[in-house]
C-alpha cells in the first residue's frame, strides 16, 4: 500500500465549529455525505455529536463524529462481556462500562484506501487513551456497516455479539487499555 498521498498532502485534523468551511465531499455513501453537509453543525449545536474534519486548505479528505456511549451488559454476549470486564474492578456489580462512539467515519472516495481511515482510528485511540480522559472512558464503540467490519477488525476492534451478524450494521468495540 502506498502512503504517498498521506505524506504528500498538507492536512490537519480540526474540531468542527459553526465557522468551519466544508468542501465538497463524496465517500460513496449518501447518508454520510449528507450528515457532513447538513447535520454535523446541528449535532454540534445540540450537543449530540462533535465532528472532526481531516482537511487541507481546499479539500475535506475525511471526517468522523464522536459521542459519549456505554457498553451495556445486555448488548454483549456473555463470553465477550467476561472478556471485556476481566480487568475491571468489581465488574460483577457493573451493568455498563463508559465508552466513546465513533458515530460516523468517512473518507472522500478520491483519498480512500491510502491510510486515512487507519490514521483517524489511531487518532481517536490516542485522544481517548491519553489526552481526553477528563471523564472515565474505557472503550471505543462503533456500529459498523457490515461491509466495513474488516476495516475495524484490522484496527483492533472486536464484535460485541453474534446476534447481529446478519444485520446491516454490527456492534464492535476497542479496549483502550490494550494500547
Ligand X SMILES: CC(C)(COP(=O)(O)OP(=O)(O)OC[C@H]1O[C@@H](n2cnc3c(N)ncnc32)[C@H](O)[C@@H]1OP(=O)(O)O)[C@@H](O)C(=O)NCCC(=O)NCCS
- Closest approach, Cβ 139 to ligand X, in A, equals 16
123 Cβ contact partners less than 8 Å away, ≥ 6 residues apart: 13
Assigned C-alpha cell, 91: 465488574
Q: Is 105 a residue that touches ligand X (CB under 6 A)?
A: yes
Q: Is 117 in the site for ligand X (CB under 6 A)?
A: yes
118 binds ligand X (CB under 6 A): yes
Q: Which is nearer to ligand X, 1 or 47 (CB)?
A: 1
Q: How far is the CB of 92 from ligand X (least distance, A)?
A: 32
The one segment of 79-87, 89-97, 110-118, 133-141 that binds ligand X by CB under 6 A: 110-118
Query: Which H or E element spans position 39?
Result: none
Q: How many positions of this chain bind ligand X (CB under 6 A)? A: 23
Q: Dmax over Cα atoms in the chain, in whole Å? A: 51
Nearest approach in angstroms of CB 171 to ligand X is 11
Q: How far is CA 133 from the centre of its chain?
A: 17
Burial class (CB in 10 A: 0-12, 13-18, 19+), 64: buried
Q: Is the dihedral of CA 154, 160, 163, 169 positive or negative?
A: negative
State the residues that interact with ligand X by CB under 6 A.
1, 27-29, 32, 105-107, 112-118, 142, 144-145, 147-148, 150-151, 154
Amino acid at each position: 500500500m502506498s502512503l504517498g498521498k498521506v505524506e504528500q498532502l498538507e492536512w490537519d485534523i480540526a474540531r468542527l465549529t459553526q465557522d468551519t468551511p466544508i468542501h465538497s465531499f463524496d465517500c460513496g455513501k449518501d447518508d454520510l455525505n449528507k450528515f457532513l453537509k447538513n447535520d454535523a453543525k446541528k449535532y454540534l449545536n445540540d450537543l449530540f455529536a462533535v465532528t472532526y474534519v481531516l482537511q487541507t486548505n481546499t479539500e475535506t479528505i475525511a471526517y468522523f463524529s464522536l459521542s459519549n456511549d456505554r457498553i451495556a451488559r445486555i448488548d454483549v454476549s456473555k463470553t465477550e462481556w467476561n472478556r471485556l470486564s476481566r480487568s475491571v474492578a468489581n465488574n460483577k456489580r457493573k451493568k455498563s462500562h463508559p465508552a466513546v462512539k465513533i458515530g460516523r467515519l468517512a473518507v472522500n472516495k478520491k483519498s480512500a484506501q491510502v491510510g486515512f481511515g487507519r490514521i483517524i482510528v489511531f487518532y481517536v485511540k490516542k485522544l481517548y487513551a491519553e489526552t481526553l480522559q477528563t471523564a472515565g472512558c474505557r472503550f471505543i464503540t462503533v456500529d459498523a456497516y457490515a461491509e466495513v467490519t474488516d476495516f475495524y477488525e484490522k484496527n483492533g476492534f472486536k464484535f460485541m455479539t453474534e446476534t447481529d451478524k446478519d444485520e446491516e450494521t454490527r456492534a464492535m468495540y476497542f479496549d483502550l487499555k490494550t494500547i
